[in-house]
Amino acid sequence: MKWTTLGSAIISEVSASLALRAAVDHPAWYTLVVAGYIAAFILMSLLLRQGMPIGVAYGIWAASGVALTALAAAVIFGDPLTWLMTVGFAAIIGGVLLIEMGSRPEETA
């Protein structure tokens, strides 16, 4: 359930960010901007109530949001996607994995 809630928060935030870009030319998109950010924060608060540590939740939410927004903006709006950005995506994935693995309690021998 935690991962579904986190995924939903990420999708809400990415949708709001992309709608913000679209709203520059079409102000009607501001409705989705507001709804998406409100939903993202509500879902994040629910996620914390479900017991996910804030460092893990926020780290994955923020990093995934940056990567997915950049990828989607390249597809939807034609924003640039460079090899250096690709290296950044790999670093984000590695960082998210390290945060997740580091948040697990160490097993005692």
> pLDDT tens digit string along 49-72?
999 989 889 988 998 999 999 999
Residues 11-27 have a mean pLDDT of: 97
First to last CA, the chain: 30
Residue 108 has pLDDT above 80, yes or no: no
Separation between Cα atoms, residue 96 and residue 102, nearest integer Å = 10
- Kindly state the DSSP code that residue 27 receives in the 8-state scheme: G
Residues in the chain: 109
pLDDT at 55: 85
Sign of CA dihedral 39, 45, 47, 53: positive
Could you give the angle at the alpha carbon of 97 between the alpha carbons of 94 and 102, nearest 5°? 125
When the pLDDT of each residue in the chain is averaged and rounded to a whole number, the result is 91
- Kindly state the DSSP code that residue 80 receives in the 8-state scheme: -
More confident residue, 17 or 53: 17
Query: Residue 47's closest CA among 105, 97, 1?
Result: 1
pLDDT at 6: 96
Hey, what are 41's tokens? 């924060």
Torsions phi, psi of 17, nearest 5? Answer: -65, -40
